[in-house]
């Protein structure tokens, strides 16, 4: 999602490969036993989280403690930037982890695959909630063997746009339904205002990944390498078209994107719902200038959203109080009250679908000129295309960090560049290339 | 002509090395949002107190600074003593396996810390030291670089002095503290600066060991200012700036020793 994330992931990977010794965790994930209904909750659990997620836990844990006298929920804010270093070392050494940890969706598959037995399989107790959650997030939390996390917040992607630029160019944002429409609109806007279409870090494959998910695919498909699939070629070709028409504002990393947006360098930004928090927090002076439409589709009638970010809660196999850990997670995430409360207070967009019907989502947002942007994103959550995630995604990302800039900055052919990446990934991971 | 050229090159070097520091001061005194304006601010702003208040509120910076200072002081005192004693033993006592022991000490300098992370973490967990101060101080008391530095310092110390001390009835410890140690003050000063800096800047190990906010050291706490969708750059810069002050103090106090300490033994007369 941003450079620091990538660095953290990288160091995590590095630590992982550098550690020759370490504890040997059980090979099979322990399954969470169905707690007997009569059992009274007691004892203490510790939860690691970060950022606003930690704030939400710290705010709500006392409520849970009040409902269940005698239990203690200890929330630790371990900071986001190097959280995965702590978690990786804890899993590797088989000690030092708390009962419950926060994981981003993109991290779950890697930990479930590389540390079998490190995270508890929630299937026995959580399976009944499957239909109630964002399907893309449910897919991200599970693999063929089990379910390793309970989804927390969703990150539906839409297209933020500058109302003033669209007006100046005489483009009706509601008329933009497909990427072809947007490319044409972008050319018109550039002519009228001199502004490019959106900010993208061309050295980073993140935009490519988001588009690929919109097309319903991850880096692997049925266990086979799919970074050179027709969908992948299509996603990268779209970016190349935008680049060739000089519609991409190339800025380095997260800070580059924030400052370019603040300076009004681009007319749109395809990104997730949490971007509203960045806009209102970092650039309050631009209030009234932004609007949101669903992401343009690749084909008319196709998915008009994707995902970028979002996290979940996992129970570690090191826990001594599984029942309490699960009871708290269930209370927090698999219900309307807390999910809506966390949306209102911490802007954590619920992955729990029934919560999205709450009237809060229908409130007009003054920053967006009175538009009901939360309703727009809420309606997209159930349409986020689920994709297959794997423990080799980090490696795929490293290869794409060469392939994507090769195409966008050095003019390589998308198919050739992706074929090469697929070949290398297959060789490194002993997977087959999907035909 | 040549002098002017040298001066110009030096001036460029000075600007290049001072500029980041100056930017740190500028950024620490502005509102985070102003830093992304174009052009960026060039002069210090007026937000110092506001940033300081926010830093105190978000990570309790005062407490964090105090924790860092005292863990670094304890570590520096203990580690310097261990290094000096160990170096003295390796330099001045003859015993079986001395060479092997010295080789082993030097060899540990070549092991990358990443390899030690997990086994060391397991050791700490098995003795119940996770999230304690001793876990960030004790494991690194025997520091191979310090031992080697002090051994080299003691090598040139005349044995005759030790013998005369013994003849006068001084015990080994008394000789060490009263006769030997005062003679290697330059090297000891250098060692103090090195060990203080290494503990002061230590990040990955304290990050792994410490879980409670009330025990965080400065680098770990500052890391918390980097969030998912918001980075408090003004707070980060102010924290980094404040964190350099104790280092400067230590350096100024031990500076004379530091410079002569590094040159010590370079020339033998």
* Contact between chains at B207 and A21 (C-beta distance less than 8 A): no
Q: Region B81-87: what's the mean pLDDT?
A: 95
Domain range summary for chain B, segments of one domain joined by +: 62-227+236-263
Position A38 scores a pLDDT of: 56
Residue A127 belongs to some domain of the structure: yes
Q: Give the burial class of B235: count Cβ atoms within 10 A of its Cβ; 0-12 exposed, 13-18 middle, 19 or more buried.
A: buried
A15 against B112, higher pLDDT: B112
* Contact between chains at B130 and A95 (C-beta distance less than 8 A): yes
Closest of B177, B267, B245, B234 to residue B33, by C-alpha: B234
Question: Residues of B with CB below 8 A from A96's CB?
Answer: 121, 124-125, 130, 208
Q: Are A213 and A224 members of one domain?
A: yes
CATH number for position A229: 3.40.190.10
* Smallest CA–CA distance from A86 into chain B, residue: B208
**Percent of all residues in chain B with a pLDDT value above 70, rounded to a whole number:** 95
Q: Are A215 and A126 members of one domain?
A: no
CA distance, residue A435 to nearest chain B CA (Å): 37
Q: Are A169 and A150 members of one domain?
A: no
3-class secondary structure, B231: strand
Residue A252 belongs to some domain of the structure: yes
Separation of alpha carbons A117 and A91, rounded Å: 9
Q: Is B62 in contact with B239 (CB distance < 8 Å)?
A: no
* Contact between chains at A93 and B220 (C-beta distance less than 8 A): no
Per residue in B142-200, pLDDT tens?
999 999 999 999 998 889 989 999 999 989 999 999 888 888 888 898 899 999 999 99
A81 against B102, higher pLDDT: B102
**What residues form DSSP beta bridges with A184?**
none
Q: Are A296 and A415 members of one domain?
A: yes
Residue A386 belongs to some domain of the structure: no
Q: Is A351 in contact with A137 (CB distance < 8 Å)?
A: yes
* Contact between chains at B38 and A263 (C-beta distance less than 8 A): yes
| HEC string for chain A | CCHHHHHHHHHHHHHHHHCCCCCCCCCCCCECCCCCCCCCCCEEEEEEECHHHHHHHHHHHHHHHHHCCCEEEEEEECCCCCHHHHHHHHHHHCCCCCCEEEEEHHHHHHHHHHCCCCECECHHHHHHHHHHECHHHHHHHECCCCECCEEEECCEEEEEEEHHHHHHHCCCHHHCCEHHHHHHHHHHHHHHHCCEEEEECCCCCHHHHHHHHHCCCCCEECCEECCCCHHHHHHHHHHHHHHHCCCEEECCHHHHHHHHHHCCCEEEEEEECCHHHHHHHHCHHHCCCEEEEECCECCCCCCCCCECCCEEEEEECCCCCHHHHHHHHHHHHCCHHHHHHHHHHHCCCECEHHHHHCHHHHCCEHHHCCECHHHHHHHHHCCCCCCCCCCCHHHHHHHHHHHHHHHHCCCCCHHHHHHHHHHHHHHHHCCCECC
* Contact between chains at B230 and A278 (C-beta distance less than 8 A): yes
Nearest to A92 among B32, B118, B207 (CB): B118
Regions of chain A with pLDDT less than 50: 1-25
Separation of alpha carbons A261 and A15, rounded Å: 35
Q: Are A197 and A82 members of one domain?
A: no
Residue A221 belongs to some domain of the structure: yes
Q: Are A84 and A183 members of one domain?
A: no
Position A36 scores a pLDDT of: 61
- Total domain count for chain A? 2
Separation of alpha carbons A178 and B45, rounded Å: 46
Q: Are A204 and A267 members of one domain?
A: yes
Interface contacts (A, B; CB < 8 Å): 107
Residue B47 has pLDDT above 90, yes or no: no
Question: Which range has highest mean pLDDT (A10-24, A297-311, B103-117, B246-260)?
Answer: A297-311
Residue A37 belongs to some domain of the structure: no
Nearby residues of A56 by Cβ (< 8 Å), 6 or more positions away: A342, A345, A346, A348
Domain boundary among A322, A349, A364: A364
Q: Are A249 and A347 members of one domain?
A: no
ipTM over 0.90: no
Q: Are A167 and A284 members of one domain?
A: yes
Residue B102 has pLDDT above 60, yes or no: yes
* Contact between chains at B213 and A48 (C-beta distance less than 8 A): no
Q: Are A146 and A58 members of one domain?
A: yes
Q: Which fold has domain B62-227+236-263?
A: MetI-like fold (1.10.3720)
Separation of alpha carbons B262 and B254, rounded Å: 12
Q: Are A11 and A68 members of one domain?
A: yes
Q: Are A78 and A215 members of one domain?
A: no
Position A434 scores a pLDDT of: 87
Nearest to A93 among B32, B122, B227 (CB): B122
Nearest to A15 among B117, B130, B224 (CB): B117
Separation of alpha carbons B37 and A416, rounded Å: 40
Q: Region B80-88: what's the mean pLDDT?
A: 95
Nearest to A277 among B115, B208, B229 (CB): B229
Per residue in B134-147, pLDDT tens?
999 999 999 999 99
3-class secondary structure, B226: strand
Q: Is A77 in contact with B213 (CB distance < 8 Å)?
A: yes
Domain hosting A259: range is: 157-306+392-429
* Contact between chains at B125 and A281 (C-beta distance less than 8 A): no
* Least confident piece of the model among A313-317, B110-114, B201-205: B110-114
* Contact between chains at A92 and B112 (C-beta distance less than 8 A): no
Q: Give the burial class of B115: count Cβ atoms within 10 A of its Cβ; 0-12 exposed, 13-18 middle, 19 or more buried.
A: middle
Per residue in A296-315, pLDDT tens?
999 999 999 999 999 999 99
DSSP 8-state assignment for residue B130: T
Position B58 scores a pLDDT of: 87
């Amino acid at each position: 999602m941003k450079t620091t994330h990538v660095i953290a992931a990288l160091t995590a990977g590095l630590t992982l490969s550098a550690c020759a010794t370490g504890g040997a965790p059980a090979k099979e994930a322990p399954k969470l036993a169905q707690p007997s209904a009569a059992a009274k909750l007691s004892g203490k659990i510790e939860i690691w989280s970060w950022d606003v997620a930690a704030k939400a836990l710290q705010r709500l844990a006392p409520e849970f403690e009040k409902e269940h006298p005698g239990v203690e929920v200890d929330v630790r804010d371990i900071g986001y930037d190097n959280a995965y270093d702590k978690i990786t070392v804890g899993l590797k050494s088989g000690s030092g982890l708390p009962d419950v940890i926060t994981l981003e969706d993109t991290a779950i598959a890697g930990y479930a695959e590389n540390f079998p037995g490190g995270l508890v399989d929630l299937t026995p107790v959580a399976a009944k909630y499957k239909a109630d959650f964002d399907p893309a997030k449910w897919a991200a939390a599970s693999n063929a063997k089990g379910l390793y996390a309970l989804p927390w917040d969703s990150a539906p992607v839409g297209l933020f746009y500058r109302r003033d630029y669209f007006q100046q160019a005489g483009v009706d944002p509601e008329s933009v339904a497909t990427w072809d429409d947007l490319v044409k609109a972008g050319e018109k806007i550039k002519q009228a205002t001199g502004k490019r279409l959106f900010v993208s870090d061309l050295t980073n494959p993140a935009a490519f990944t988001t588009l690929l998910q919109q097309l319903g695919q991850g880096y692997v498909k049925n266990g086979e390498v799919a970074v050179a699939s027709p969908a992948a070629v299509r996603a990268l070709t779209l970016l190349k078209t935008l680049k060739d028409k000089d519609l991409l504002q190339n800025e380095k990393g997260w800070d580059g994107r924030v400052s370019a947006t603040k300076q009004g360098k681009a007319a749109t930004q395809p990104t997730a719902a949490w971007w509203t928090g960045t806009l209102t927090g970092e650039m309050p002076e631009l209030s009234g200038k932004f609007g949101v439409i669903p992401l343009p589709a690749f084909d008319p009638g196709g998915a008009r959203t994707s995902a970028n970010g979002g996290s979940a809660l996992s129970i570690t196999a090191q826990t001594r109080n599984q029942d309490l850990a699960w009871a708290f997670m269930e209370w927090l995430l698999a219900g309307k009250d807390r999910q809506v409360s966390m949306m209102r207070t911490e802007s954590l967009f619920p992955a729990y679908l029934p919560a999205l019907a709450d009237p809060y989502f229908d409130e007009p947002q003054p920053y967006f000129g009175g538009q009901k942007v939360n309703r727009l994103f809420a309606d997209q959550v159930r349409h986020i295309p689920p994709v297959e995630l794997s423990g080799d995604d980090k490696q795929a990302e490293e290869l794409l960090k060469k392939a994507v800039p090769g195409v966008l900055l050095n003019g390589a052919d998308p198919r050739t560049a992706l074929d090469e990446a697929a070949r290398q990934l297959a060789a490194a991971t002993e997977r087959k290339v999907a035909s | 002509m040549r002098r002017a050229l040298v001066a110009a090159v030096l001036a460029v070097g000075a600007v290049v090395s001072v500029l980041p520091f100056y930017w740190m001061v500028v950024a620490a005194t502005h509102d985070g949002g102003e830093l992304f304006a174009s052009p960026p601010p060039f002069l210090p702003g007026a937000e110092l107190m506001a940033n300081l208040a926010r830093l105190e509120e978000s990570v309790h910076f005062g407490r964090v600074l105090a924790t860092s200072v005292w863990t670094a002081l304890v570590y520096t005192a203990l580690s310097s003593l261990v290094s000096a004693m160990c170096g003295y033993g390796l330099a001045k006592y003859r015993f079986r396996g001395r060479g092997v022991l010295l080789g082993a000490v030097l060899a540990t300098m070549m092991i990358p810390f990443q390899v030690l992370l997990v086994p060391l973490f397991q050791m700490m967990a098995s003795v119940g030291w996770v999230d304690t101060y001793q876990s960030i101080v004790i494991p690194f008391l025997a520091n191979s670089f310090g031992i080697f530095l002090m051994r080299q310092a003691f090598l040139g110390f005349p044995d005759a002095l030790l013998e005369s001390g013994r003849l006068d009835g001084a015990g080994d410890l008394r000789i060490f503290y009263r006769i030997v140690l005062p003679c290697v003050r330059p090297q000891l000063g250098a060692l103090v600066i090195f060990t203080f800096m290494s503990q002061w800047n230590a990040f990955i190990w304290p990050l792994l060991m410490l879980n409670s906010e009330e025990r965080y050291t400065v680098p770990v706490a500052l890391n918390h200012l980097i969030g998912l969708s918001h980075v408090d750059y003004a707070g980060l810069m102010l924290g980094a700036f404040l964190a350099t002050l104790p280092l400067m103090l230590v350096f100024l106090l031990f500076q004379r020793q530091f410079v002569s300490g590094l040159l010590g033994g370079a020339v033998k007369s």
